[in-house]
Amino acid sequence: MSVIRLKTQIAASLEKCFDLARSIDLHIQSMHSTQEKAVAGRTSGLIDLNETVTWRAKHFKVAFKMTIKITEMEYPNHFTDEMVTGPFSKLHHHHQFKSLCNKTEMTDVFEFVSPFGLLGRFVNWLFLKRYMQKLLLERNRMIKMEAERQ
């Protein structure tokens, strides 16, 4: 299993950061480079507990489809999304928000298991973990930019 942990400091309220992190519209904006689109389930607005969204995107010039479900949510402190169907054997993304003075600390714990056993582990080691981290960093940059702009 690969685990990516990121912390982002944002000069905005807990509630604003929480809502931006679960915004389908902002997610689409932040994943422009992969042509990501919400094609089923909740396709716009703020995703909520027990809701699903199916994403279609291109990674490495290959089209992928993935359905995720919000499996835990405690507004505005944390939520978790998990892959229901898609290209990974397992995907679990926990988002946590903590108030620090006049800022919010947003923590991502992103865990995934690639398919294909030993070959999948090799692909993770070779480039996939770094690629996924780059996507998460770009998404967090967009959340921070939008939260601090408003």
CATH of the domain at 132: 3.30.530.20
Q: Report pLDDT for 33.
A: 83
Window from 75-79, 99-103, 107-111 with minimum mean pLDDT: 99-103
Structural domain of 93? 2-149
CB 55 within 8 A of CB 36: yes
For the chain, what is the domain count?
A: 1
From the CA atom positions of the chain, what is the Rg in Å? Answer: 15
Q: Longest Cα pair distance anywhere in the chain, in angstroms? A: 46
Mean pLDDT of the chain: 93
pTM tops 0.85, yes or no:
yes
Distances (CA, A) of 3 to 36, 89, 125: 23, 14, 12
List Cβ neighbours of 86 (8 Å cut-off, separation of 6 or more).
Answer: 64, 65, 66, 67, 68
